[in-house]
Amino acid sequence: MALNTQPNIADPDEFYAELIRAHDGLSDAESAAFNARLVLLLANHVGDRATLTEALAAARKP
């Protein structure tokens, strides 16, 4: 399963607003911890090891 980098979220503005809202009231450290948990949840959902490696590379060097 290759990493899908084409648009894949139905209502991107609504999603983005929800993502930012999820950080409301968090300190910077709490935000970072939140993001770490979120990455792990999504990574588990993806599951495929090769895809995860590809995503890590894409995030390192956008």
Partner 1 sequence: MPLDDRYQLAFRLYPYERSADQDAAAPVRHPVVVMGGGPIGIATALDLGLQGIPVTVLDDHEGIGMGSRAICFAKRCLEIADRYGCAQPMLDKGVVWNLGKVFHEDRKVYEFNLLPEEGHRFPAFINLQQPYFEKFMVERVRAAQAEGAPIEIRGKNRVERIETKADHTILHIDTPEGPYTIHADWLIGADGASSPLRGMMGLDFEGRVFQDSFLIADIRMLSDSFPTERWFWFEPSHGAGASTLLHKQPDDVWRVDFQIGWDVDRAEELKEENVRRRLDAMLGGDVAYEIVWSSIYTFQCRRMKQFRHGRVIFAGDAAHQVSPFGARGANSGMQDVDNLGWKLGMVIRGEAPDRLLDSYHEERAFGADENILNSTRATDFITPKSTASHMFRNAVLDLAEHHAFARPLVNSGRLSVPCTYDGLSLTGADALPGGPARTRPGSPCPDAPVGNGYLLNALGGGFTILTLDAEAPETLTEDGVTARRHALSARDDASGALAERYLGSADRAVYLVRPDQHVVARWDRYDETALRAALRRACGKE
Distance CA 54, CA 37 (A): 19
Q: Is 28 in the site for partner 1 (CB under 8 A)?
A: yes
Please count the residues of the chain: 62
Q: Is 4 in the site for partner 1 (CB under 8 A)?
A: yes
Q: Is 50 in the site for partner 1 (CB under 8 A)?
A: no
Q: Is 37 in the site for partner 1 (CB under 8 A)?
A: no
Q: What share of the chain is helix, strand, coil (3-state, %, to 5)?
A: 65, 0, 35
Residues that bind partner 1 (CB under 8 A): 4-9, 12-13, 16-17, 19-20, 23-24, 26, 28, 31, 35, 58, 62
